[in-house]
A and B are shown apart, each in its own frame.
Chain A
Amino acid sequence: MIETENLSREYGSRIALHPLTLRVTPGEILGFLGPNGAGKSTTVKLLTGMIKPTGGRARVAGFDVTTDPLEVKRRVGYVPESAALYESLTAREFLEVIASLYHQPPRSARQRIDELLDRFDLAAAKDQRLSEFSKGMKQKVVIASALMHRPEVLFLDEPLTGLDANAALVVKELIRSLAAQGRTIFFCSHVLEVVERVCSRIVIIDNGRAIADGTPAAIAGRAHAGSLEEAFVALTGARNTAEVTHDLLDALER
């Protein structure tokens, strides 16, 4: 469960997130969309207790992110936008570190690590250093690390980045299954097709403000657009794509 009430964040004079009021229920997959720099990652960092809000409040998994950030962190899984890892460790070592940080008993943690690495086709590479992993392999390790402790709420910031088609399918199916188990999923992405297919509800954010909330069909209907993609372009005020392409080609030929 995620609940926010006028949650906001400022960086000096710049407002990264205008007051946001939101409620995501257990079992729900919320797609959080927005152009680059719209405030998606800031919202995720606020909800995971990584940064503090400058206004409003938020409760995740029943705990306040400002007053009980550790309790929140114990209950959430987070896949960051960049696959940040301690690259001089091996995949197994990294996951063991993560398991220890969540106080998982070594024996059951090892079993779970083997299980997750196996599911992500990383069993053969588990003793290789992460610096030797490809982008997609690193992303799989990041996703595995977010699932290690069976989180109640999962924050996924561009989780499919770098994954091959098969792995992406697995992750999408995994997200649906986790939601079916009653977990709350907060899914940030730029890939509208994926969001449309996976999420039951979508929130579009632009310049730090939530500008649309509803099912893909409802958002498209409200924006008088034929698809979510068209609605996104209309709502975020993006330039006409044909015009941009023409300008780019023109620049290349100059």
Chain B
Amino acid sequence: MLNRLLAALGVDPIQWRVLVVVYLRMDFRGTGGATTPKGRARRSYPLANLAAVTIMGSAMFAVLVVRVPDVLVSATLLTTYGALNAVMILLVDFTGLVVSPDDYVILGARPISSRTYFAARMGAVLAYITLLGAALAFLPALFYALWWQLGPLGFVATFAAVILCDVCSAVLIVTTYVALLSVIHPQRLRRAFSYLQLGLMMTFYGAYYLAMQGFSDSFLMHVSFGDRPWMWANPAAWFAALVRVVAGGAPPAVWIAAATAAALSLACVPLAAGRLSLEYAQRLGETTVIAERPRHRTGFRLPGFRRAESRAVALLIAAQFRFDQKFRMAILGIVPLIFFYLLLGLHQGALVDPFTAGMRSAAGAPVYMAVVFMPMTLQASLQYSDGWRAAWIFFAAPASAARLIIAAKNFVAMWFLGGYLLLLAGIWSFYFDRVWHAFFHAAIVGVLAHTLLQLAVLFKPALPFASEPRRTERTSKLYTVFFFGSLLAGILPIFLPLLYERPPLLAAIIALLLFVTAALEFTLRLRVNEAIGDLEFRA
């Protein structure tokens, strides 16, 4: 039956099946890079990590299902999160997931039609999206079925709502991209898409944070679609209506919304059978033929990074920022986010002097969230590059792996974390009772963030730009840092004022922190030498 359907869509079923299996198989296997002398690659399970984080999200939404009295509201939050999740995955890993430029070289001369190629890529994408949608929907579906007593039908409806919403979002994103491709040059489109990714990432982080705030907010306990009909403007709510319909006694608006969701899902089938083709990869390949006009650049001398490995790392980071669109977007994607959290945190009470503040609460946590989030995310971004094969130079040159890795960590700490903390100290100095309070507080926060960064590097040391960007790996890391960063950021504004009230304890903690930093720096060198020193390069 599937064969007949594919053939009717102009897709070669044999080629489709083979390509889908290949794409999925490749996603579960690593390729080159650093290996142990016995040839064992360092294992990583990005898809499993992403699934684990999604399941954590599923647990959070299960709590929401129980707490929020309106089924439609909780289901809408669930489908909205699911859709944003799907869009994020597609945007962050788009080139790898939807169209890979490698395909052009390997498949370009093979007799594969555009439709078959598109269908295969789409099949692999939808397999991902369905898997993650199912992981997200599982616990909420269980609670709708048991807690709300919607039974097996409620369970199925929750799955259908989340998966259909995710799939439709994915199809819309892909087909929009393909439609734009026919009128815009691929390179320009890729750049434009990266900026769209930037915008959507900001929306996603903002929505995520607000959703977390929402768990403790009474707003969700009272809100309903009857009071606020504008909430129907969110298409994810139409899919959530499927769950509400199963709950029984749904008003006509819910029925209409559910019917619209079903119609939209059906409309996605011909939309998905569009015309993404190898032509995209071909055009990408063609653009690489035309060399960019070289620009004259003056010598690069960054204070603190003027010699040996540290200079090499600084030069490399600067060059990657200029030429590697993915890396540039990873950096640029963080900067506005930092400002978003900064403003949000300052608005919530981060401007209160922690030395004199009487009450202790998690107010102002977003400021600390940014402090934790930024260096860790940047450090993670520094590991991956499409040009990972060039990492042979680290293995061929008489460079110290430990120095290279520590230089990358120091670059992040000095130029990104340091810059942000200086900005913070500047703002705080206007509002705190004493200027030194501002700078002292910034320094303490900085040392803590640096310690975390050291721990992150200690946990998984990696040479800069030497790892192959595996699909979903970046997304899963982002989510992990985000999840744990949120928890940690909530502790800092409570913990630090407590410390500032007790000078002897503060002195002891500072001494301890400095000792830990020095000890970690020392351990880092040993650990890196142990973890990286005996690795061999394979490409």
| Chain A residues packing against B (C-beta within 8 Å) | 11-12, 14, 16, 42, 45, 48-51, 70-71, 73-74, 76, 78, 80, 82, 84-89, 93, 97-98, 100-103, 129, 131-132, 155
Q: In the docked arrangement, what's the CA distance between A80 and B25, Å?
A: 24
Q: How far is the CB of B289 from chain A (nearest CB, A)?
A: 6
Tell me if A74 and B104 are in contact (CB < 8 A): no
Q: How far is the CB of B29 from chain A (nearest CB, A)?
A: 4
Known: A70-B112, A88-B29, A101-B107. 7 other contacts (CB 8 A): A12-B290, A74-B111, A88-B30, A100-B17, A101-B19, A131-B538, A131-B539
User: What 1/0 mask marks residues of chain B from 1 to 29 whose CB sits below 8 Å from any chain A CB?
Assistant: 00000000000001101110010011001
Tell me if B22 and A11 are in contact (CB < 8 A): no
Chosen A-B contacts, 7 in total, with CB atoms closer than 8 Å, are A12-B290, A48-B108, A70-B113, A84-B102, A89-B26, A131-B32, A132-B39
- Answer whether residue B149 sits at the interface, using C-beta atoms and an 8 A cutoff: no
CB-based nearest A residue for B101:
A84
Q: In the docked arrangement, what's the CA distance between A164 and B29, Å?
A: 29
Contacts of B182 in A (CB 8 A): none
- Answer whether residue B534 sits at the interface, using C-beta atoms and an 8 A cutoff: no
Tell me if A51 and B286 are in contact (CB < 8 A): yes
Tell me if A82 and B14 are in contact (CB < 8 A): no
Q: In the docked arrangement, what's the CA distance between A17 and B29, Å?
A: 40
Q: How far is the CB of B123 from chain A (nearest CB, A)?
A: 15
- Answer whether residue B188 sits at the interface, using C-beta atoms and an 8 A cutoff: no
Q: A73-B109, A100-B18, A101-B112 are in contact. Are A51 and B26 (CB under 8 A)?
A: no
Q: In the docked arrangement, what's the CA distance between A102 and B15, Å?
A: 8
CB-based nearest B residue for A103:
B14
Contacts of A84 in B (CB 8 A): 102, 105-106
Tell me if A50 and B31 are in contact (CB < 8 A): no
CB-based nearest A residue for B290:
A11
Tell me if B29 and A102 are in contact (CB < 8 A): no
- Answer whether residue B110 sits at the interface, using C-beta atoms and an 8 A cutoff: yes
Contact of B290 among A14, A51, A85 (CB under 8 A): A14
Q: In the docked arrangement, what's the CA distance between A182 and B110, Å?
A: 22
Q: How far is the CB of A67 from chain B (nearest CB, A)?
A: 14
Q: In the docked arrangement, what's the CA distance between A38 and B112, Å?
A: 29
Contacts of A14 in B (CB 8 A): 290
Q: A16, A49, A97, A129: which has the most chain B beta carbons within 10 Å?
A: A97
Q: A16-B289, A131-B538, A132-B538 are in contact. Are A87 and B105 (CB under 8 A)?
A: no
Q: In the docked arrangement, what's the CA distance between A16 and B289, Å?
A: 9
Q: In the docked arrangement, what's the CA distance between A86 and B32, Å?
A: 11
Q: How far is the CB of B336 from chain A (nearest CB, A)?
A: 33
Contacts of B19 in A (CB 8 A): 97, 101
Q: A12-B290, A89-B25, A97-B22 are in contact. Are A82 and B105 (CB under 8 A)?
A: yes
Contacts of B285 in A (CB 8 A): 51
Tell me if B22 and A89 are in contact (CB < 8 A): yes
Contact of B110 among A85, A102, A155 (CB under 8 A): A102
Contacts of A97 in B (CB 8 A): 18-19, 22
Contacts of A73 in B (CB 8 A): 109-112
Contacts of B106 in A (CB 8 A): 84-86
Tell me if B109 and A50 are in contact (CB < 8 A): yes
Which B residues between 92 and 122 are near A, CB-CB below 8 angstroms? 102, 104-113
Q: A51-B282, A86-B22 are in contact. Are A101 and B111 (CB under 8 A)?
A: yes
Q: In the docked arrangement, what's the CA distance between A85 and B31, Å?
A: 11
Tell me if B31 and A101 are in contact (CB < 8 A): no
CB-based nearest B residue for A128:
B39
Contact of A101 among B18, B25, B32, B538 (CB under 8 A): B18
Q: In the docked arrangement, what's the CA distance between A74 and B15, Å?
A: 13
CB-based nearest A residue for B26:
A88
Tell me if B26 and A86 are in contact (CB < 8 A): yes
Contacts of B26 in A (CB 8 A): 86, 88-89
Contact of B108 among A12, A45, A131 (CB under 8 A): A45
Contacts of B108 in A (CB 8 A): 45, 48, 50
Contacts of B39 in A (CB 8 A): 132
Contacts of B113 in A (CB 8 A): 70
Tell me if A88 and B31 are in contact (CB < 8 A): yes
Q: How far is the CB of A3 from chain B (nearest CB, A)?
A: 19
Contact of B31 among A11, A12, A102, A131 (CB under 8 A): A131
Contacts of B25 in A (CB 8 A): 88-89, 93
Contacts of A51 in B (CB 8 A): 282, 285-286
Tell me if A98 and B290 are in contact (CB < 8 A): no
CB-based nearest B residue for A76:
B109
Q: How far is the CB of B95 from chain A (nearest CB, A)?
A: 16
Q: In the docked arrangement, what's the CA distance between A50 and B31, Å?
A: 26
Q: In the docked arrangement, what's the CA distance between A45 and B39, Å?
A: 36
Contacts of A89 in B (CB 8 A): 22, 25-26
Q: In the docked arrangement, what's the CA distance between A227 and B232, Å?
A: 79
Q: In the docked arrangement, what's the CA distance between A42 and B288, Å?
A: 12
Q: In the docked arrangement, what's the CA distance between A78 and B110, Å?
A: 9
Q: How far is the CB of A9 from chain B (nearest CB, A)?
A: 9
Contacts of A48 in B (CB 8 A): 108-109
Contacts of A78 in B (CB 8 A): 109
Q: In the docked arrangement, what's the CA distance between A88 and B32, Å?
A: 8
Contacts of A16 in B (CB 8 A): 289
Contacts of A131 in B (CB 8 A): 30-32, 538-539
Tell me if A102 and B111 are in contact (CB < 8 A): yes
Give the top 10 A-B pairs by smallest Cβ distance, nearest first. A84-B105, A78-B109, A88-B29, A73-B111, A50-B108, A100-B18, A131-B31, A87-B31, A74-B111, A48-B109
Contacts of B14 in A (CB 8 A): 100, 103
Contacts of A86 in B (CB 8 A): 22, 26, 102, 106
Tell me if A50 and B289 are in contact (CB < 8 A): no
Contacts of A49 in B (CB 8 A): 109
Contacts of B30 in A (CB 8 A): 88, 131
Contacts of B282 in A (CB 8 A): 50-51
Contacts of B539 in A (CB 8 A): 131
Tell me if A11 and B286 are in contact (CB < 8 A): yes
Contacts of A129 in B (CB 8 A): 29, 31
Q: In the docked arrangement, what's the CA distance between A49 and B110, Å?
A: 9
Q: How far is the CB of B275 from chain A (nearest CB, A)?
A: 15
Q: A49, A73, A98, A131: which has the most chain B beta carbons within 10 Å?
A: A131
Contact of A50 among B104, B290, B538 (CB under 8 A): B104
CB-based nearest A residue for B104:
A50
Q: How far is the CB of B519 from chain A (nearest CB, A)?
A: 38
